Amino acid sequence: MSEDLRLSLPNNKELQIPCDSCDKETFHLVLAEIDQHWDNPAGDGLSEYLTVQCRGCGTISYCHRSFFSEDEEWDEERGCLVRIPTINLYPSRIAGRALLKDAYELPHGLYRVYKETHSAICNKLRILAGVGLRAIIEAVCNEKSAKGKDLKERIDVLVAQGLITKDGAAILHQIRLLGNEAAHEAKANTEPELHIALDVVEHLLMGVYILPKRAAQLQRKPKNIAGPP
């Protein structure tokens, strides 16, 4: 096996990748690049290690882009086979899937479970993501002292406490089953299923924790008793 390692400072080289701050795909300027070419009897490839900066907000992050000779697809426009890159971003992110706004206001343990589950989805760790979604619901039940012999009963207690509706509970039961399959059967749910489930869980966190805090802040806001000038 042979390798060739090269460091460069590209001039105006850009990539279009998701930005963690802009929460969408943007053009990123490549600030520095290390290229590692290699070949062996199985094939040849290229790994690019890139320090990049968003052209929009200026956030700096890291990108690893790799090409392998066996990973090719037919390009109709070019009329030839082209290598398909594998791209990993650090910190990991998906366009349009930023952390819940004001998530830091969640109870500490719940915040950690939510953040790690979000990270699992962004890293496409689909089994761990399913387990994490179930763990978020369980953490809410723990924090709200919703007792029961199993998670099914504890979700129903959240309804009795007035924290969620019966329709909301029905959706959480579906996510509970999704998590059970991931935990006990090592079943990986599809990415669309996981994103929908995370949408629902984030709605739960907003309704149970973040919005009540906002409402309390409005109630404490002093009223302006002075009349118009």
39-51 confidence digits (pLDDT tens)? 777 677 888 999 9
Which tens digits make up the pLDDT trace of 12-39?
899 999 898 888 889 999 999 999 887 7
Question: Would you say how long the chain is, in residues?
Answer: 229
Give the count of beta carbons closer than 10 Å to the beta carbon of residue 140: 26
Predicted pLDDT at 227: 57
Q: What is the mean pLDDT of residues 195-217?
A: 90
Q: Which of 133 and 222 is assigned the larger pLDDT?
A: 133
Which tens digits make up the pLDDT trace of 152-166?
999 999 999 999 999
Confidence of residue 226 (pLDDT cuts 50, 70, 90): low
Mean pLDDT, rounded, of the chain: 87
Predicted pLDDT at 1: 59
Tokens of 21: 């701050």
Model's pTM, two decimal places? 0.69
Cβ proximity of 175 and 134 under 8 Å: yes
In the chain, ranges of CATH 1.20.120.580 domains: 103-218
Handedness of CA 224, 226, 228, 229 (dihedral sign): negative
Q: Across the chain, which distance is largest between two alpha carbons, in Å?
A: 84
Predicted pLDDT at 64: 92
Give dist(CA 21, CA 44) in Å, integer.
35
Angle at which helix 191-205 crosses helix 126-143, to 10 degrees, equals 20
Give dist(CA 21, CA 56) in Å, integer.
9
Predicted pLDDT at 224: 62
Q: One-letter amino acid identity for 169?
A: A
Q: In this prediction, what percent of the chain has a pLDDT beyond 70?
A: 90
Q: Which residues contact 1 (CB under 8 A, 6 or more apart)?
A: 38, 39, 40
Q: Which of 120 and 84 is assigned the larger pLDDT?
A: 120
Check if CATH label 1.20.120.580 holds for domain 103-218. yes
Confidence of residue 150 (pLDDT cuts 50, 70, 90): very high
Which tens digits make up the pLDDT trace of 88-126?
888 887 777 788 888 889 999 999 999 999 989 988 899
Q: How far is CA 121 from CA 3, 4, 132, in A?
A: 33, 34, 9
Predicted pLDDT at 196: 93
Predicted pLDDT at 86: 82
Predicted pLDDT at 197: 94
Tokens of 92: 């990991």
SS (H, E, C) the chain: CEEEEEEECCCCCEEEEEECCCCEEEEEEEEEEEEEEEEECCEEEEEEEEEEEECCCCCEEEEEEEEECCCEEEECCCCEEEECCEEEEECCCCCCCCCCCCHHHCCHHHHHHHHHHHHHHHCCCHHHHHHHHHHHHHHHHHHCCCCCCCHHHHHHHHHHCCCCCHHHHHHHHHHHHHHHHHHHHCCCCCHHHHHHHHHHHHHHHHHHHHHHHHHHHHHHCCCCCCCCC
Instruction: Tell which phi-psi region holds residue 95, choosing left (phi > 0), alpha (psi between -120 and 50) or beta.
Output: beta
